[in-house]
Structure 1
């Protein structure tokens, strides 16, 4: 069988793998075909095709049987490396069954040490023996069949073949494009108790159509492995470092700098304790509609959340697919789980909106336990919406289990002359806290403010790279009320500036051929037969400028984190950017595209809110833009009426230098 999801070549040996591992084996026929063939799996669209059954659902039936036989089973592991197609289908099945999806190979070539063949080398180092039993690429001929894919000579041959056919960097070396299939016949103890033996006389090469060829295995057996009596050690499996090399160097630099200076003074102009009004506004901007800080009556957060969602979505749950991004403000973070359950029940399709959630405590109006803002696209824009929703645990970035994506992007405009892949896009990214991706636990309490700031910033950066972000329109660092701003602000400011700075020549990875490379089009150069391919490290973010950064202290953050990064990205291949600062009206930062001489976004730092109306006029701010105001004091009605903003009540605010502010006005042009 050769389908979108399954390969059955070598299936007659699978029972021997179970024997070699001494694990139970469960099998069943694969029914149906690839009905839902989009990159992300949509069970609803598959179910709407009448009597046709998607082949993915055979996995659901099989795993349901496994759960019945083994109630202790709690996770499903997938070997997805770059394939969203495979990963999203396994995730769909696993999550519906209450199982945790594991994808620890996800984005593996783009983690340290940044080499496409790093996985194959790691397999070699622990003694994993996986034989190539099918080739399906013009770059690979029959001579590759039955070679150990983790053998150094085979790795070199795969790299040279990929380079010769111009496929280097697209995952072909590790077979991600279906270039070859493998069969595991041996591996490290104590996992492998026996080895699978296939004599040369018991296998034959079978040529196929269109340049394919397979190995036919006629007979195989297992042989008990011999374990050294004097050495009970097991091979050590390499785990990718938690930080990219550049982030690690940046963390070391920030740590050394912060530790050698006195904690900055963060004088607070205004630390609010009284409730702040959060008006409900609905405004339309071209193809977008914004519902700002929507509230609903109710005696508890669950009832209020249900009322808000019903108010926005009404009786049309399909409208939920038009929502690009949401901002959830809670009075008590303890309500988050209950709110999330209700909120999530309104999203049952792939790529739900990205989301930022914070608790504002008593800064929310009396009787308001939850307020939600929505950014919605019309039908024409929704058709071009793209999402990144990784629900598996991995070494890459935190999994988003539940109703929000890591990122959702939309074109900045609808154009008949530009395609979805070439037109600039706005990328709305979920808030990022310092979770360890592999375990989904927070960094330990002993972690320094710098370590927490850098790890959560890396999450933002990796997601931005995966979604081709070339510019951040600005950054907001949320701090919990228990976090020390004097420690976090300098760490965040130096990290933000440092990661936007050009790398020193000696530290810069080899990416001279392109400043902005698609994640699927990374280049790999092969310098010689025995040399590893060049670095696969990429950051699509350009270093034309350092966007503005502000720090907002709220009541608390998800999971009890001290810090959460929030930023909106701008994806455009060909533009260069800058930041203009107008200090006549307080401090107005304009983020611009230089060639077009157009303003993309802006930020106004307000020291005195009573002057906000004057500042708004002197800054030349226009009505009709999408405004968000982070504020530590009540806003004048005149400002609210002029801007019609989304309001985020805070306890305190600062700029990147530690200067205290009463409000920050952010907008997207």
Structure 2
């Protein structure tokens, strides 16, 4: 995780920048080599925790830690873990940036850096000492020929910064250098001696940093094109939907195929705390019954009575999901009976080795950080299906809500969902669900989805409120094309994902064919009458629309 070549220049860098430097010997090793990190004794990450704790003792006004991860989940998750424990924000504004674009920006930013270690095909001792500007065309060539990462994200090279726009007091001058070849490896590095050349006078403390910082466009080209094509005026007039006073669902639990479904947990206790606690007490019983734990939960659907209660509900909720990779989650306010504070349904992967996921908790330009007990997505490698958490139109860099115009908000939230799919490789759309709080957005949401992907497994539902008062939220399922799957541990599912999931719309469940070998998610604001032998989740909504905007009483998602 840590760069060692050139570390002895750190004191000189501190002198150039004019900021206090804190150092500490690394005592631990990479004891925990899992992608998702959890506190581990004698791990090098705990040395980082101790060092940042010391920094906070001396500088209690410190709020955040900047991490340069571009692709590395390994590095990012460790910094995020330390930051979470210390109450700091992890800033990863390079995360998922296009590497060619990013390197081009660094070459024109006033940054002077040289290669001090090389360890990749096509790189050798002749490249040591090259500036980024000199190395850029070399790296572009190696990227096209061999897939070398232009920014060195695969460990291809390491650098030392000699000067930068924020070096107010000096720059580094290399006085001596010696090329060292790592024993038995095609790895070379420079052993350096540097000195500080003072800047007289020092650069001014206040600068217009915007000229050195590039902020990517809010929308990628694909979604900007969609936004332009659907841009238009949306009528206002959102109003709360009348709550129902009737409980029409039943709690149920079934083991179907490779998954366990526990659905429609609720409580009749009097307070929020009592109800949420009892719901999780019920869930604990089912988890024990199926010999699993909270770590096995893949996804959670949480429907609540009043979004004003969300913070209190979430404070209890997070106490149960404390392991790395908490479940994917969709949480909305909808028309529950007045006395019912919440209804909870979960899907569980009994064989935890088949569970994978993505849980990004850093601020970035990529997609909203998930500061909380849920992951952007959790994948079941046997079924080859990813459950995608609900995404609302938050501006990732500062987590502020974008709610107008409708075309921008709908595209931004859907882009977040797509970005998650792209990072994980589960890029094929299997099911799309759009939650809206204002029916006047229907035309825009339908057209945005049509231009994104023309998929019949799509339903739009109206609810009374969404997190942060968002106007739209996208959720759903995706899968990976495994025709060229190279992972030897991958277990082929008995059915393809496309055979596993389908959506039907109906105005009556009276003659609806239910199979005991399937699980059903039923979106409706009407009475639910399902045989006791059927596994089903009730998703209370105010209205259900098909992709052609036709309204139905029931939208039924079947998982086989």
TM over 0.5: yes
1:557 aligns with 2:466: yes
Higher relative contact order (CA 8 A, sep 6+): 1
Work out whether residues 36 and 74 of structure 2, in 8 Å CA contact, stay in contact via their aligned partners in 1: yes
Distance 1:233 1:74, change over 3 A: closer
1:367 aligns with 2:344: no
Equivalent-residue separation in structure 1 for 2:10 and 2:212 (angstroms): 26
Equivalent residue number for residue 246 of structure 1: 222
Where does the alignment leave 5 or more consecutive residues of structure 2 unmatched?
Answer: 485-492
Post-superposition Cα deviations, 1:534-590, rounded to whole Å, max 9, x if no partner, equal xxxxxxxxxxx5233222111211111111111111222339xxxxxxxxxxxxxxx
Distance 1:129 1:478, change over 3 A: same
Work out whether residues 205 and 215 of structure 1, in 8 Å CA contact, stay in contact via their aligned partners in 2: yes
Equivalent-residue separation in structure 2 for 1:125 and 1:329 (angstroms): 49
Where does the alignment leave 5 or more consecutive residues of structure 1 unmatched?
Answer: 48-52, 110-115, 414-424, 501-544, 576-592
Equivalent residue number for residue 582 of structure 1: none
Equivalent-residue separation in structure 1 for 2:212 and 2:7 (angstroms): 29
Work out whether residues 276 and 633 of structure 1, in 8 Å CA contact, stay in contact via their aligned partners in 2: no
Equivalent-residue separation in structure 2 for 1:572 and 1:345 (angstroms): 36
**Is 621-630 or 298-307 further displaced after alignment?**
298-307
2:500 aligned to 592, 600, 604, which one?
A: 600
SS of alignment partner, residue 613 of structure 1: coil
Distance 1:264 1:237, change over 3 A: closer
Equivalent-residue separation in structure 1 for 2:167 and 2:479 (angstroms): 48
Kindly state the Cα deviation for residue 273 of structure 1 after the two structures are TM-superposed: 4.0
Work out whether residues 244 and 338 of structure 2, in 8 Å CA contact, stay in contact via their aligned partners in 1: no
Equivalent residue number for residue 426 of structure 1: 385
**1:508-587 superposed matches below 5 A:** 545-574=454-483
Work out whether residues 273 and 651 of structure 1, in 8 Å CA contact, stay in contact via their aligned partners in 2: no
1:208 aligns with 2:105: no
Equivalent-residue separation in structure 2 for 1:251 and 1:240 (angstroms): 17
**1:144-293 superposed matches below 5 A:** 144-149=127-132, 151=133, 153-164=134-145, 166-168=146-148, 172-188=149-165, 191-199=166-174, 201-209=175-183, 210-224=185-199, 235-255=211-231, 258-259=232-233, 273-293=244-264
**Is 91-100 or 463-472 further displaced after alignment?**
463-472
**1:338-357 superposed matches below 5 A:** 338-357=312-331
Equivalent-residue separation in structure 1 for 2:321 and 2:243 (angstroms): 35
Post-superposition Cα deviations, 1:165-190, rounded to whole Å, max 9, x if no partner, equal x224xxx22111111111112112xx
Equivalent-residue separation in structure 1 for 2:260 and 2:122 (angstroms): 50
Kindly state the Cα deviation for residue 122 of structure 1 after the two structures are TM-superposed: 0.8
**Is 340-349 or 75-84 further displaced after alignment?**
340-349
Work out whether residues 271 and 652 of structure 1, in 8 Å CA contact, stay in contact via their aligned partners in 2: no
1:396 aligns with 2:399: no
Distance 1:238 1:598, change over 3 A: closer
**Is 122-131 or 213-222 further displaced after alignment?**
213-222
Equivalent residue number for residue 467 of structure 1: 424
Distance 1:248 1:597, change over 3 A: closer
2:27 aligned to 28, 31, 34, which one?
A: 31
Work out whether residues 278 and 365 of structure 1, in 8 Å CA contact, stay in contact via their aligned partners in 2: no
TM-score w.r.t. the length of structure 1 is 0.77
Kindly state the Cα deviation for residue 23 of structure 1 after the two structures are TM-superposed: 0.9
Equivalent-residue separation in structure 2 for 1:402 and 1:349 (angstroms): 12
Equivalent-residue separation in structure 2 for 1:56 and 1:73 (angstroms): 19
Work out whether residues 553 and 653 of structure 1, in 8 Å CA contact, stay in contact via their aligned partners in 2: yes
Equivalent-residue separation in structure 2 for 1:173 and 1:42 (angstroms): 31
Work out whether residues 431 and 564 of structure 1, in 8 Å CA contact, stay in contact via their aligned partners in 2: yes
2:545 aligned to 648, 654, 664, which one?
A: 654
Equivalent-residue separation in structure 2 for 1:319 and 1:58 (angstroms): 30
SS of alignment partner, residue 500 of structure 2: strand
Equivalent-residue separation in structure 2 for 1:232 and 1:558 (angstroms): 37
SS of alignment partner, residue 572 of structure 1: coil
Equivalent residue number for residue 49 of structure 2: 60
Equivalent-residue separation in structure 1 for 2:497 and 2:378 (angstroms): 26
2:442 aligned to 481, 485, 489, which one?
A: 489
Kindly state the Cα deviation for residue 298 of structure 1 after the two structures are TM-superposed: 3.2
Kindly state the Cα deviation for residue 271 of structure 1 after the two structures are TM-superposed: 7.3
Equivalent-residue separation in structure 2 for 1:384 and 1:354 (angstroms): 15
Equivalent residue number for residue 521 of structure 1: none
SS of alignment partner, residue 190 of structure 2: strand
Equivalent-residue separation in structure 2 for 1:283 and 1:365 (angstroms): 25
Distance 1:264 1:6, change over 3 A: closer
Equivalent-residue separation in structure 2 for 1:304 and 1:142 (angstroms): 66
Post-superposition Cα deviations, 1:420-458, rounded to whole Å, max 9, x if no partner, equal xxxxx1100100000011111101x5x111111110000
SS of alignment partner, residue 189 of structure 2: strand
Equivalent residue number for residue 17 of structure 1: 13
Equivalent residue number for residue 452 of structure 1: 409
Q: For this pair of structures, how many residues does the alignment match?
A: 544
Distance 1:462 1:497, change over 3 A: same
Equivalent-residue separation in structure 1 for 2:27 and 2:268 (angstroms): 49
SS of alignment partner, residue 2 of structure 2: coil
Distance 1:6 1:228, change over 3 A: closer
Post-superposition Cα deviations, 1:58-81, rounded to whole Å, max 9, x if no partner, equal 000000011111111111110000
Work out whether residues 427 and 467 of structure 1, in 8 Å CA contact, stay in contact via their aligned partners in 2: no
Kindly state the Cα deviation for residue 274 of structure 1 after the two structures are TM-superposed: 4.1
Work out whether residues 292 and 350 of structure 2, in 8 Å CA contact, stay in contact via their aligned partners in 1: no
Equivalent-residue separation in structure 1 for 2:24 and 2:312 (angstroms): 38
Post-superposition Cα deviations, 1:362-390, rounded to whole Å, max 9, x if no partner, equal x32353212211111113xx211111010
SS of alignment partner, residue 280 of structure 2: helix
Equivalent residue number for residue 377 of structure 2: 407
Distance 1:167 1:295, change over 3 A: same
Work out whether residues 243 and 338 of structure 2, in 8 Å CA contact, stay in contact via their aligned partners in 1: no
TM-score w.r.t. the length of structure 2 is 0.91
Work out whether residues 469 and 570 of structure 1, in 8 Å CA contact, stay in contact via their aligned partners in 2: yes
Kindly state the Cα deviation for residue 39 of structure 1 after the two structures are TM-superposed: 1.6
1:498 aligned to 439, 451, 454, which one?
A: 451
Kindly state the Cα deviation for residue 473 of structure 1 after the two structures are TM-superposed: 2.4
Kindly state the Cα deviation for residue 409 of structure 1 after the two structures are TM-superposed: 0.5
Kindly state the Cα deviation for residue 228 of structure 1 after the two structures are TM-superposed: 9.1
Distance 1:106 1:601, change over 3 A: same
SS of alignment partner, residue 653 of structure 1: strand
